[in-house]
Structures are given as structure tokens and as C-alpha cells.
């Protein structure tokens, strides 16, 4: 009131207008009849080794540089203990795949414990579970080896065990040990292995491929870090696309992800130089990906190398006869996955512990072949792979790595799907709300990667934009079969790409950072119907967006408010009376959850529907799900 007298006529009018405008709201009538079927796979995960998401991340092995691998192996993460020195030894290779070992030289006259430490991947999360350590030792030694987990600065001991060893100088002897741990307050922990120096004085010992595991997810041997697997479990995704992404393609043909070098005993896996700056051990390899899918109930989406690597000026793309060996290699990979144990590669799989074929139905040919010089040859490469795979496995669904028509065959083979990647601005994602409304329904889509990008942490505005985009996808989930936020995981200490869905640290207590986008994915994935229902409204889409679905008697209405005004919402679903409303919101569009703050978390409340009518308020910058029955 007071302010009016000081305003110009025009300003007063516009203030009045804006006050009137504050009465916002939408009324939605959800049909209980008919509807379009929704893809049961719609929400899932895309995974590759980026941001130490695999080694140092979801792969349970905790020691960094444990095989001294790479083109210039060095002592990264290792340090000596006591009066001894350590070095990378090429004279005593563990195997042809792990061509180096860690040499411990102990001077004459040494007394006391000597050995080495490993600092893990920016720390070691000691979570109080029973740990396992495996290593090989070469050199005459018959006594105890002591393994401890100790605070880097505090010196506090979180585990200590002695394992009796009897080794010789002719060959490596394999040692395994399991021991209890006490939970550490943070990730600042070293793995320490020592021996009595007096027993080795004037001599050396060699150690090969040292490994350390916590109790893994579902107690799998060579399995997953439980905290990260649990975070994925809480989203209830439906599929896992692996192993990339750029990391499938490799910077060069030589450094592509080679399936046959990621299987079998870990000491026979050479690893490879990844595309995201660091060496990949491939300890989490092809079979571990399938175990991951089995343990988390995920449908595998297998990416296969399609004759193109990232390096510009390199010798790819391969076409014509040069492509054939890679097609054959893919057929061998598929036989390893799908063949019974009477086949060459199926029997190899059986010897590695999985008698039954794995369950794969979806195979993607390449990655982003529209980019970096891959487009021109992709029609030929896709067709060659498609024809060979389809002839051998006609039931497999084959996915092209782009929807760019200029990179695809003029006639797409029947049944092929298209992968479309969408890294975008917030406004860009919102503007694509109706991207799929008028697509040809006969060609299914996979949104293999999407998110707001080029920011560090997703803020509520960015995550609401993703929700608007996802509402657009879900409304079209007769044709959009699957969609995955990417990238999935990020070790905050060494990051190559932001934002990511689930950043993490090595702190065993607060390992997971639940980003605002994580909550959006979770809210959308856990509240899924099988049928998209028609919704009628007098309001147009924007700033409020919605989609409704049902599964039997359960209804789900997802809403996003991409605006700074509160919205009153009335949802009518005839015959329904009770529901739960989950809301994720913040008035500040920049509010985010990071490694130092948690500002945005969902709230839940029960709501009742008077005569099937649910009334509630949608805050500014919010995502909401009404689950009613
Ligand atoms: O998700 C990060 C990268 O983005 C993927 O490796 C690649 O497919 C895309 O360009």
C-alpha cells in the first residue's frame, strides 16, 4: 500500500498486474480409461570408467596402481615403510598381462618392520566390514606378513592381521587373507604391508597385483563397493548400458575397450589406457558387468566397438575388409555371453564360473558415431555389424549409436532402435519437452545419455529442467524405450566431467552425495506405471508440466514447476481417495547439494482425495510425484 504512493502510474499498474498474476494454478483431470503402454525399461543407468567411477569407484578393489600398469609404470600411491626402498620391477613380471611387480629392497643390517603403503584412490573407505587382501610374493621368505589399515595422519589402526607366508625365489606364491576392520571416521587411511626386516636384510622380495576388498555388494568375489551399489539400488533403475561412452571407443583402436582382455583371472587382464586420462585395470570386466546386472536386476545394454576410435587423424574408421576382424570379434564376444557351453567361447565362460549364458537382449553398435569423423562411414559400419549380428542372433535388439539420418543407412533395418544423446542447458531441456510428441512411432528411441551439463553441481533449476525433459520422455514412452542420466558416478577428488548423478568420496560414513538430480531420478524411477494416461486440462504446459501413469489401481502423477511462482494444483482421478505426495523444491533456483552442503531433499506427506480430487501446492522450482490409489 505504502509503496504505491511512491510509484509511477505505470509501475503501480505493473505491480498490481503481477499481484493478480500470482494467483496461479492448474487443474488436471486424469482419465482412468485406456492409455498408451509405457516402456518397462524407461529409467536406468549409463556407465563407463570416467571420474574414477570404476577403478576407485564402484569396483570394490581399493588399492590404486595395484598392478603397476600403464605405458610408464611408476610408484603412484605407493611409499616405503622403514629402512627399505621400493621400485617398479620389470625383471620379475607377475604374468604376461601384468608385466611388473613391486620390488622391496632391504639393506644389510636392517631391523624392525619394513614394507610399503598404498594410499588407495584418494583414500580407503574402511567401513567396518570383513576385508580381504590378495597378493603374490616372490623371494625366499617363511614368516609372517603383517597387513594393517592405519589412519594416514592419526596413525589409528583400523585393522591389523598377520598372514603366514612360505614363498620362494623361483615363482610367485599367491596369498589370501581376510580380517575384521573397525570403521574409520574418514577415508584418510593407508594400506600397509610389512615384514620383519631382519629376516630379509640384504635381500629383496617382489610383490605382484596387491588387492584389497571390503565386504562387497551381495558378497560377490571381485565385486562392487556396497555403498555405491546401494545408491543405485535405491533408484530402482531398469537397465545398465556399458562399457561406454567414449571409453568403449578408445582414443585409438589399440586402446579401445577389448572385451576379451577383461575376462578371466584378474592377473591375466592387462587393463588399458582409458579415454578419461587414467589407466583402467579392467578388474571390473565383462563378466562383472553381467553380475552387476544380475545382482541389481538390471537389463544389460551392451555396447560393442564399431570400428571407430576417438583420436582425430588416427587410422579409424575401419571400413570394408578392414572391418571384418572387428565384426568377428563382436560375434565371439556374443558367443561368450550367449553361447552354451558346447561353443568355444560359451565354454570359456563356463570355465570362468558362469555355466548358463548371460541374458542380453539389447546391443548398441558403437557410440556417438555422428561425432568426430565417424558419421560418413557409420551407415556402412552399422549395416555390416547389424547384418552379421542379426544373422547369428535374430532376436537381439540392435541399437544405432545416433539418430542423425545423415549418418544412418537410408532405410533403417526393421526393429533397429536409435540412441540420441542430449547434454543441454536448462532452458534447452525444457524447450525439448515435446521433442518426441510427433516422432514416427515405428522407430524406438533410447536416450543413452542426457543431463544439464557444463555446471559443477546440479541446482534445483537444472534438475527441474531435467524433470520437464523426463516428463516429455515419459509421455512418449511408447516410443522412448529407455533413458539414462549421464555420467553416473564421480569421485570428487579426480573428476573429468561434471555434473554427475552420484558424486562420492572415500569417507565410509558419508560416501554418497545425493545430488538434486539424483532425487529427481529416484522419484521418477520408483514411481512408475505401465500405462500412460490421458490428462485433460484448461492450462497449457509451462511453467507447470505433468504426466500421469497407472499400474493396476495405482496412479502416479509427476509434475514439474519450472518457474519462480507457487502453483496451486488440483488433480482429479475418479474413484481414488488416498495418496502420497513427494516434493523436491527450493525457492532459490541455484540451491544445490554438493560435497559441502545439502540444501535440497524431498519431503513426503499423505494426501487425501475428496471425491477423487487431490489439491496441493507446487512450490517454485519444484518436482513432485503424487502416488495415489
Ligand atoms: O558421458 C560422458 C561422455 O559424453 C560419454 O563418454 C560420451 O558418450 C559423451 O560424449
Whether residue 550 has pLDDT greater than 90: yes
Strands 43-46 and 239-242: parallel
Report pLDDT for 467: 98
* pLDDT tens-digit map of 287-297: 999 999 999 99
Distance 47 CA to ligand 1 centre (A): 10
Q: Mean of the pLDDT values across residues 23-45?
A: 94
Distance 247 CA to ligand 1 centre (A): 8
Given the C-alpha cell 542420466, which residue does it identify? 485
Q: Give the domain ranges of the chain.
A: 23-37+531-628, 39-60+217-415, 78-213
Q: Mean of the pLDDT values across residues 504-524?
A: 98
CA of 244, closest atom in ligand 1 = 6
Report pLDDT for 188: 98
* Residues paired with residue 550 on neighbouring β-strands, in sequence order: 531, 555
Considering only 9-23, 107-121, 439-453, which range has the smallest mean pLDDT?
9-23
Distance 569 CA to ligand 1 centre (A): 38
Distance 218 CA to ligand 1 centre (A): 29
- Pocket, ligand 1, Cβ cutoff 6 A: 48, 50, 244-246, 367-368, 449, 486-487, 497
Do 309 and 252 form a contact (C-beta atoms < 8 A)?
yes
Report pLDDT for 6: 30
Alpha helices in 496-618 (DSSP H): 516-526
Report pLDDT for 26: 97
Q: How many other C-beta atoms are found inside a 10 Å radius of the C-beta of residue 231?
A: 22
CA of 46, closest atom in ligand 1 = 1
Whether residue 373 has pLDDT greater than 70: yes
Mean pLDDT of the chain, nearest integer: 95
Do 307 and 326 form a contact (C-beta atoms < 8 A)?
yes
Report pLDDT for 592: 98
Alpha helices in 405-480 (DSSP H): 426-431, 460-475
Share of the chain above pLDDT 70, in %: 96
CATH, range 39-60+217-415: 3.20.20.80
Closest C-alpha to ligand 1, atom 8: 245
Three-state secondary structure call for residue 199: helix
Q: For domain 23-37+531-628, is the CATH number 2.60.40.1180? A: yes
Closest C-alpha to ligand 1, atom 3: 245
Residue 272 to residue 583: CA distance in whole angstroms: 44
* CATH number assigned to the domain with residue range 78-213, chosen from the 4 options 3.40.50.970, 1.10.3470.10, 3.40.30.10, 2.60.120.260: 2.60.120.260
Report pLDDT for 167: 98
Whether residue 32 has pLDDT greater than 80: yes
CA of 487, closest atom in ligand 1 = 1
Report pLDDT for 1: 23
Report pLDDT for 313: 83
**Pocket mutation for ligand 1, best pick of 45, 489, 497 (most atoms within 8 Å of C-beta):** 497
* pLDDT tens-digit map of 73-101: 999 999 999 999 999 999 999 999 999 99
Report pLDDT for 24: 86
Closest C-alpha to ligand 1, atom 1: 487
Report pLDDT for 11: 42
What's the angle, vertex CA 204, arms to CA 203 and CA 206, rounded to 5?
160
At 14, the pLDDT band (50, 70, 90 cuts) reads very low
Whether residue 8 has pLDDT greater than 80: no
* pLDDT tens-digit map of 130-176: 999 999 999 999 999 999 999 999 999 999 999 999 999 999 999 99
Do 629 and 554 form a contact (C-beta atoms < 8 A)?
yes
The candidate with the shortest Cα–Cα distance to 470, out of 498, 514, 430, 518, is: 430
Whether residue 207 has pLDDT greater than 50: yes
Amino acid at each position: 500500500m505504502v509503496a504505491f504512493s511512491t510509484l509511477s502510474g505505470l509501475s503501480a499498474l505493473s505491480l498490481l498486474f503481477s499481484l493478480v498474476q500470482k494467483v496461479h494454478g492448474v487443474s488436471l483431470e486424469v482419465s482412468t480409461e485406456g492409455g498408451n503402454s509405457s516402456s518397462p525399461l524407461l529409467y536406468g543407468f549409463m556407465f563407463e570408467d570416467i571420474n574414477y567411477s570404476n577403478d576407485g569407484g564402484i569396483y570394490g578393489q581399493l588399492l590404486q596402481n595395484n598392478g603397476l600398469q600403464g605405458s610408464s609404470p611408476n610408484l603412484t600411491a605407493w611409499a616405503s615403510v622403514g629402512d627399505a626402498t621400493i621400485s617398479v620391477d620389470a625383471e620379475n613380471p607377475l604374468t604376461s598381462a601384468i608385466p611388473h611387480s613391486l620390488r622391496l629392497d632391504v639393506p644389510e643390517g636392517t631391523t624392525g618392520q619394513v614394507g610399503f603403503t598404498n594410499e588407495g584412490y584418494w583414500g580407503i573407505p574402511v567401513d567396518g566390514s570383513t576385508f580381504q587382501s590378495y597378493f603374490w610374493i616372490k623371494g625366499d621368505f617363511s614368516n609372517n606378513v603383517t597387513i594393517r589399515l592405519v589412519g594416514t595422519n592419526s596413525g589409528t589402526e583400523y585393522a591389523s592381521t598377520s598372514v603366514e607366508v612360505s614363498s620362494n625365489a623361483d615363482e610367485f606364491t599367491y596369498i589370501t587373507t581376510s580380517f575384521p576392520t573397525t570403521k574409520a571416521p574418514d577415508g584418510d587411511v593407508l594400506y600397509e604391508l610389512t615384514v620383519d626386516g631382519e629376516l630379509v636384510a640384504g635381500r629383496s622380495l617382489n610383490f605382484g597385483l596387491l588387492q584389497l576388498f571390503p565386504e562387497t555388494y551381495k558378497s560377490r568375489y571381485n565385486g562392487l563397493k556396497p555403498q555405491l551399489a546401494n545408491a543405485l539400488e535405491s533408484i530402482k533403475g531398469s537397465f545398465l548400458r556399458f562399457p561406454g561412452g567414449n571409453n568403449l571407443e578408445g582414443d585409438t583402436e589399440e586402446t579401445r575397450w577389448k572385451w576379451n582382455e577383461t575376462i578371466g583371472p584378474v592377473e591375466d587382464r592387462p587393463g588399458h589406457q582409458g579415454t578419461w586420462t587414467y589407466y583402467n585395470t579392467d578388474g571390473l570386466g565383462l563378466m562383472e558387468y553381467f553380475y552387476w546386472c544380475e545382482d541389481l536386476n538390471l537389463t544389460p545394454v551392451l555396447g560393442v566397438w564399431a570400428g571407430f576410435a576417438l583420436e582425430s587423424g588416427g587410422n579409424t574408421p575401419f571400413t570394408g575388409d578392414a572391418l571384418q576382424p572387428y565384426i568377428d570379434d563382436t560375434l565371439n564376444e556374443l558367443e561368450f555371453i550367449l553361447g552354451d557351453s558346447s561353443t568355444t567361447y560359451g565354454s570359456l565362460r563356463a570355465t570362468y564360473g558362469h555355466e548358463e549364458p548371460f541374458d542380453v537382449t539389447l546391443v548398441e553398435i558403437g557410440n556417438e558415431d555422428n561425432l568426430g569423423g565417424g558419421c560418413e562411414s557409420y551407415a556402412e559400419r552399422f549395416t555390416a555389424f547389424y547384418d552379421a549380428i542379426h544373422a547369428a542372433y535374430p532376436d537381439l535388439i540392435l541399437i544405432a549409436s545416433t539418430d542423425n539420418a545423415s549418418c544412418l543407412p537410408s532405410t533403417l533395418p526393421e526393429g533397429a532402435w536409435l540412441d540420441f544423446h542430449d547434454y543441454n542447458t536448462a532452458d534447452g531441456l525444457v524447450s525439448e519437452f515435446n521433442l518426441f510428441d510427433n516422432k514416427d512411432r515405428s522407430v524406438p528411441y533410447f536416450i543413452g545419455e542426457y543431463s544439464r551439463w557444463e555446471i559443477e553441481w546440479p541446482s534445483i533449476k537444472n534438475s527441474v529442467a531435467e524433470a520437464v525433459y523426463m516428463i516429455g520422455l515419459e509421455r512418449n514412452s511408447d516410443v522412448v524405450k529407455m533413458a539414462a542420466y549421464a555420467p553416473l558416478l564421480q569421485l570428487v577428488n579426480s573428476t573429468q566431467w561434471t555434473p554427475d548423478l552420484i558424486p562420492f568420496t572415500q569417507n565410509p560414513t558419508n560416501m554418497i552425495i545425493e545430488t538434486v538430480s539424483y532425487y529427481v531420478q529416484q522419484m521418477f524411477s520408483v514411481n512408475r506405471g505401465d500405462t500412460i494416461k490421458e490428462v485433460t486440462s484448461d492450462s497449457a504446459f509451462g511453467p507447470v508440466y505433468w504426466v500421469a501413469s497407472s499400474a493396476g489401481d495405482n496412479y502416479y502423477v509427476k509434475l514439474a514447476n519450472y518457474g519462480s511462482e507457487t502453483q496451486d494444483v488440483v488433480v482429479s482421478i475418479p474413484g481414488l481417495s488416498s495418496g502420497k505426495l513427494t516434493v523436491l523444491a527450493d525457492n532459490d533456483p541455484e540451491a544445490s547439494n554438493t560435497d559441502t552442503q545439502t540444501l535440497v531433499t524431498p519431503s513426503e506427506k499423505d494426501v487425501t482425495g475428496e471425491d477423487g480430487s487431490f489439491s496441493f501446492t507446487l512450490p517454485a522450482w519444484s518436482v513432485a510425484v503424487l502416488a495415489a490409489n
